[in-house]
Amino acid sequence: MNQTGRGTNDDVRMRGFAKRHTVNEATAWLDAQLHPLAAESVSLQIAADRVLAASIISDFDVPGFDRATMDGYAVVAESTEGASSYTRLPLTVVGDSMPGRPFEGVVSAGEAVRIMTGAPIPRGADAVLPAEWVELENDGRPEIISALASVSPGKNLGRRGEDVIRGSKLFEAGRALRPQDLGVLSSVGHGNVNVIRQPRVRLVVTGNELLASGTSPRGFQIADANGPMLAALIERDGGLVDFPGLVRDDPAAILESLQSDVDIVIVSGGSSVGIEDIAPVLLAQHGELAVHGIAMRPSSPTGFGLLGTRIVFLLPGNPVSSLCAYDFFAGRAIRALGGRSKEWPYRAIRGRLGRKISSPIGRLDYARVKIADGIVEPVAVAGASLLSSTTRADGFVVVGDDSEGFAAGSEVDVWLYG
């Protein structure tokens, strides 16, 4: 593998690849470059799905006091022993306990404090008698209620630290924060949280034949499909997308894009062996072209390397190739730099093939498949420009470079798109 970025195989235009790297070789070089970015502090309001930079220990008990879990009356449980609708036991109401406004006195046997859900349990009380188990006796003072049922000690109480215990570990470093996690963090006093910085990704979509996304195709020009697709994938994987628009097939314009102040540059188009495929040459001249040409289908013309501190990915312009190369390499890097798992964010299931998938030894194949009545049916193996094959497909099957494929009836792993 070329480690200098300036080998004899850098310019493969109109000559083809003398050698193709295996997927494992390419991934090994890439993984050696991948380390989580530095931490930053962000407010909880924008922390959803961000990745924790360090574990979090609680400095507080939650709740910080014993509290009622029902509306009713805080009582000494022993005062209700034997109560029933036939044997009503009188209790004297001596005050109220409301959320944020506790009863300051002490509850004694034969007394009760009106209490609302979430309010602090008064001293002396050890249970809450639900409101529906009580009958009001008069409207005078002192107020008298009758207990129509008994409660045991601890009944209808939430104990201090029942939710979170002070000193306990709430979350491990590396956790992607969910909405409920933010609620827990707020409950223990965190308004901000330290998270891994999101990778900044410059998306460079090249091609003189391209029209801006949303433009109707006309003549011999086509609307950009890769830009919206790749931008969505980058955001899915936790990256911050910088995509100012299409870049013409001009060396100066492409080089300027490669030199963007970002962590990762993804170039879509201009990575193959055509006369206008200049991105690999520029990367080799100004940085390091570590990988160019990979033994896989689709995505064979994929390349990547370094330009300064940036990792630069050269993805083919054909949409399925671009998607595949992103999933195997660029997405892996974005996730790793952002502190996430490098592995695919896809769920895998086992299924039985309805038809065979063939592949030559020495090449990895990415086969789009559909699942119908529990049977896995290949949609396409070839057809790198047929993006609609991925929308018709439920997922994909990977045939390793050490396999000739799978026979009909074989059990295979299917990676689901959705």
Q: Give the pLDDT score at 391.
A: 77
Antiparallel, parallel or unpaired: β 169-171 and 395-399: unpaired
Contact in structure between 71 and 131 (CB atoms under 8 Å): yes
Measured distance CA(285)–CA(254) in Å, rounded: 13
Count the Cβ atoms, other than its own, within 10 Å of residue 19: 10
Q: How far is CA 372 from CA 209, 375, 393, in A?
A: 37, 5, 11
Instruction: Give residue-wise pLDDT tens across range 242-271.
Output: 999 999 999 999 999 999 999 999 999 988
Residues of the chain under the 70 pLDDT cut = 1-18, 138-141, 272-274, 276, 380-386
**Cα angle, residue 228 at apex, residues 224 and 232 outer, rounded to 5°:** 160
Count the Cβ atoms, other than its own, within 10 Å of residue 101: 11
Q: Which run of H or of E encompasses 28?
A: helix 23-32
Which pair of tokens denotes residue 316?
């083919």
What's the DSSP call for residue 413? Answer: E
Q: Give the pLDDT score at 383.
A: 55
Contacting residues for 229 by C-beta, under 8 A, at least 6 apart: 319, 322, 323, 387
- Which CATH code fits 347-416? 2.40.340.10
Q: Give the pLDDT score at 59.
A: 96
Residue given tokens 């998270």 in the structure block: 195
Report the CATH fold assignment for 40-59+167-196: Molybdopterin biosynthesis moea protein, domain 2 (3.90.105)
Contact in structure between 197 and 38 (CB atoms under 8 Å): yes
Residues of the chain with CATH 3.40.980.10: 23-37+198-337
Contact in structure between 240 and 247 (CB atoms under 8 Å): no
- Which CATH code fits 67-158? 2.170.190.11
Report the CATH fold assignment for 23-37+198-337: Molybdenum Cofactor Biosythetic Enzyme; Chain A (3.40.980)
Q: Give the pLDDT score at 4.
A: 38
Measured distance CA(188)–CA(327) in Å, rounded: 38
Ordered DSSP codes for 326-339:
IIIIIHHHHHHHTT
Contact in structure between 333 and 27 (CB atoms under 8 Å): no
Q: How far is CA 374 from the centre of its chain?
A: 28
Q: Give the pLDDT score at 219.
A: 87
Q: Give the pLDDT score at 330.
A: 98
Q: Give the pLDDT score at 3.
A: 40
Residues of the chain with CATH 2.170.190.11: 67-158
Instruction: Give residue-wise pLDDT tens across range 50-108.
Output: 999 999 999 999 999 999 999 999 999 999 999 999 999 999 999 999 999 999 999 99
Amino acid at 54: A
Residues of the chain with CATH 3.90.105.10: 40-59+167-196
Residues of the chain with CATH 2.40.340.10: 347-416
Measured distance CA(148)–CA(86) in Å, rounded: 8
